[in-house]
Amino acid sequence: MGRTIGFIGAGKIVDIMLGALCPAFGDDELWVWNRTASRSEALAARYPVRVSPSVKDLAERSDWLFVAVKPYAVAKVLSEACLSVRDDALVISMAAGVTIDAIKTHFAAPPAIVRIMPNLPLKAGCGMTAICPDEAVRQADVDALLALFSSVGRARLVEERLFDTVTALSGSGPAFAFLFIESMADGAVLNGMDRAQAYEFAAQTVMGAAKIILESDRHPGELKDIVASPAGTTMAGIHSLERKAFRAIVMDAVDAAAARSRELNS
């Protein structure tokens, strides 16, 4: 018999997770609650998920309880759900910047708690999910979470002190990658290529480069050097990027996103 899995929240990330993970949930019974009921009902119309009438009802029935609301809303929903969360339940928070200790403050006797940070590429089966369990979490649940999210990409255990970095790198990172791909395609359009074709070439190129890094043990700089032949076109492009501090700009973007994640918990 499967677990009963509840989702507090019916936003984009829950939509993405249900679309990607429904096959992996198998015999699990899925429930969702959202303060705006129409959003829960919209998910129920598209996925095998039932709508719970209240957050308390959802908490009472859930073996795994995903907290999938914006960081500012975590305190509100947990204040309503805390007395109904079962002693043997696993609370799984996806709220950026909200620590395990902060979640514990809502409970007289805290349940087992895990923080996770999935990302948008789950949608394409190429997700990168960070998982940080509290010491009270059963190893079987840790293994089950790793297996679940590995079914749609990669999942790794990460120390909680690095979660702001994870939020910036893999959480915000897809947006940075989209911007880079759009910019590469714009450069091709500037040189006469059709826009649809430019997007295809740029996206496939970035995907292929990422795949090589993941499947080899070679340093990205070494791989870059293979492409950048002396006095060639690639070196001319790299020179242009470095003149404008390309690496520092990207590092600053990740650093700014991480700083914002820390602000959310202050």
* CATH class for the domain made up of 4-160: alpha beta
DSSP string, 90-153: EEEE--TT--HHHHHTT-SS--EEEEEE--GGGGGT-EEEEEEE-TTS-HHHHHHHHHHHHTTE
SS3 string of 40-79? HHHHHHHCCEEECCCHHHHHHHCCEEEECCCHHHHHHHHH
Q: Which residues pair with 32 in a beta bridge?
A: 7, 51
Per-residue pLDDT of the chain (266 residues), as tens digits, is 689 999 999 999 999 999 999 999 999 999 999 999 999 999 999 999 999 999 999 999 999 999 999 989 999 999 999 999 999 999 999 998 899 999 999 999 999 999 999 999 999 999 999 999 999 999 999 999 999 999 999 999 999 999 999 999 999 999 999 999 999 999 999 999 999 999 999 999 999 999 999 999 999 999 999 999 999 999 999 999 999 999 999 999 999 999 998 887 76
Please state the domain extents for the chain.
4-160, 173-264
37: which 2 tokens?
């009921």
Same fold, 4-160 and 173-264: no
Hey, is 127 helix, strand or coil? strand
CATH class of 173-264: mainly alpha
Short-list 24, 147, 141, CA closest to 88: 141
Strands 29-33 and 49-51: parallel
The strand pair at 49-51 and 64-67 is best described as unpaired
> What predicted TM-score, i.e. pTM, was given to this entire model?
0.92
Calpha distance 32→54 (Å, rounded) = 9
